[in-house]
Amino acid sequence: MYVPVMNIPKHMFKLRTEIVYIMEKYSISQDHILFVDDVDFTQLTKLGRDQLQVTMVDHNELSRYA
């Protein structure tokens, strides 16, 4: 299973105007997006490396908000 997560906290979403524009253009609600502060990465890492894989896109490290 793949679950995309925005690498920013939810409250900063409105500052990403290019993403807000595209989401509005295609009628995608912010409620349908997972943000880095929605995910408990500490708990997920307890699953073990064989259970969890993270692929970073457009960033080389996880946000400091995670």
Most confident of 1-5, 6-10, 25-29: 25-29
Distance CA 15, CA 6 (A): 13
Task: Look at the chain and report how many structural domains it folds into.
Answer: 1
What tens digit of pLDDT does each residue of 6-26 get? 888 899 999 999 999 999 999
- Sorting pLDDT into bands at 50, 70 and 90, what band is 3? confident
Residue carrying the six token digits 């699953």: 47
pTM above 0.85? Answer: no
Residue 44 lies in domain:
1-60
The answer to whether position 65 is within a domain reads no
The answer to whether position 9 is within a domain reads yes
What tens digit of pLDDT does each residue of 45-66 get? 787 767 777 777 766 666 665 5
The answer to whether position 45 is within a domain reads yes
Neighbours of 35 (CB within 10 A): 19
The answer to whether position 15 is within a domain reads yes
The answer to whether position 27 is within a domain reads yes
Residue pair 5/36 in contact (Cβ under 8 Å)? The answer is yes
